[in-house]
Amino acid sequence: MSEAWQEAGRGPWNQSSTGGFVLTSLFNESPMHLFLFIMVVVVYTLAMAGNTAMVFLIWADARLHTPMYFLLSQLSFLDIFFTSVTIPKMIAGFLFGWTSISFVGCGAQMFFFMFFGATECLLLALMAYDRYVAICNPLRYPSLMSHQTCLLMVAASWLGGSLNASIQTALTLQFPYCGSRKIAHFFCEVPSLLRLVCADTASYEHVLFVTGVVVLLLPIAFITMSYAFILAAVLGMHSVEGRRKALATCSSHLTVVNLFYGPLVYTYMLPASYHSPGQDDVVSIFYTVLTPMLNPVIYSLRNKEVTGAMKNVIGKCGMGKIA
């Protein structure tokens, strides 16, 4: 510990010497911020309802018991938990002033945020492989995308997410934190926590970059390569209807990929000098609540099978009430 830190009264502390951290509220009490807070609550509610409905529809309708929709149900399942790791705490902090979070609680929030986030990154890449097989090798699709293969793909995503979260959480929490316990963010995210560290984090930032390459850039490269092959196959199709259907299905997945990966690349791959707390808050809103809300909308509005299943379930519920 340097003399400058001692003179400033900002000596290092850890979980044994303090109650934890204090999170910065995303909103203040101004009318505009109150409106924005209400909007976030509405979007979070829609995200929970939409993803829960998507999981239920895929489970309830036998026509959706295919590899693509099985992976989509896993995506919705992940989004339910991914957005719930951070947003309820943010809501409670604004409404009741519960902005403090214990050291252990902060570590748990960090772990589950990275766990579900990294798992979703890997799953989105594997969903691109599913589309590649369906369009480029349709005759081999049943064998290449068997139920066992789908289960292995999902298990690999969850295992990769767990490994990434375990490494990053353990390394982040082993640093000494100094003086101020106030995190300039509305949840415990690695870049914001590193600003409170009173030690050299250069080596760890290299580790973060490597994990970012594995979890973000490699999946992006895999998705790009998959869609390059898909585009070549689509351009070679003689059927206009076949082209339209293939492009509609792939465009939904590409939209979700861009909305999710883009903000994450900004947060975890750009140097700290390109960041500010205000910018990080805005960017984080995209992947913590906005993208999970848009995922079921994007996949359902442009998909006749999902909308058909929705009408079928609503019709059954209506007939049940009449009976």
238-290 per-position pLDDT tens digit: 777 777 777 776 777 788 888 888 888 888 887 766 777 677 788 888 888 88
Q: Residue 49 above 80 pLDDT?
A: yes
Average pLDDT score over residue span 33-49: 91
d(CA 89, CA 21): 13
Cα–Cα dist 321/311, whole Å: 15
How far from 213 is each of 65, 121, 164, 253, 265, CA to CA, in Å? Answer: 33, 12, 12, 21, 9
Token code pair at residue 113? 């945020």
Domains and CATH numbers, the chain: 29-316 (1.20.1070.10)
- Average pLDDT value for residue range 67-94: 92
Q: Confidence band (pLDDT; 50, 70, 90) for 9? A: very low
CB atoms within 10 A of CB 289: 26
Q: What is the mean pLDDT of residues 56-75?
A: 88
Neighbours of 136 (CB within 10 A): 16
How far is CA 248 from its chain centroid? 23
Nearest Cα to 43, choosing from 293, 309, 287?
293
Tokens 């149900």, residue located: 73
Give the predicted TM-score (pTM) of the model: 0.85
The answer to whether the beta carbons of residues 203 and 222 sit under 8 Å apart is: no
The pLDDT score that the predictor gives to residue 16 is 45
Residue among 46, 73, 82 nearest 284 (CA): 82
Confidence of residue 179 (pLDDT cuts 50, 70, 90): low
Q: How far apart are CA 313 and CA 310, in angstroms?
A: 5
Sequence-distant (6+) residues with CB within 8 A of 48 are 80, 83, 84
Separation CA 94–CA 63 (nearest Å): 43
pLDDT at 3: 37
Q: Residue 51: which pLDDT band, with cuts at 50, 70 and 90?
A: very high
Spatial contact of 176 and 199, defined as CB atoms under 8 Å apart: yes
pLDDT of residue 117: 93
Give the dihedral sign, CA 252/39/191/170: negative
The predicted model gives 168-192 an average pLDDT of 87
Considering the chain, what percentage of its residues have pLDDT values greater than 90? 31
- Tell me which H or E stretch contains 163: helix 147-173
Q: Is residue 107 pLDDT above 60, yes or no? A: yes
- Interval 125-169: pLDDT, tens: 998 899 899 888 989 999 999 999 999 999 999 999 999 999 999
Q: What mean pLDDT, rounded, does the chain reach?
A: 83
Residue 52 contacts residue 303 (beta carbons within 8 Å): no
The model's confidence at residue 19, banded by pLDDT at 50, 70 and 90, is low
Contact (CB, 8 A) for 170 and 146: no
Region of residue 24 (phi > 0: left; psi between -120 and 50: alpha; otherwise: beta): beta
3 state SS of 182: strand
**What are the CA-CA distances from residue 157 to residues 118, 161, 309 (Å)?**
8, 6, 27
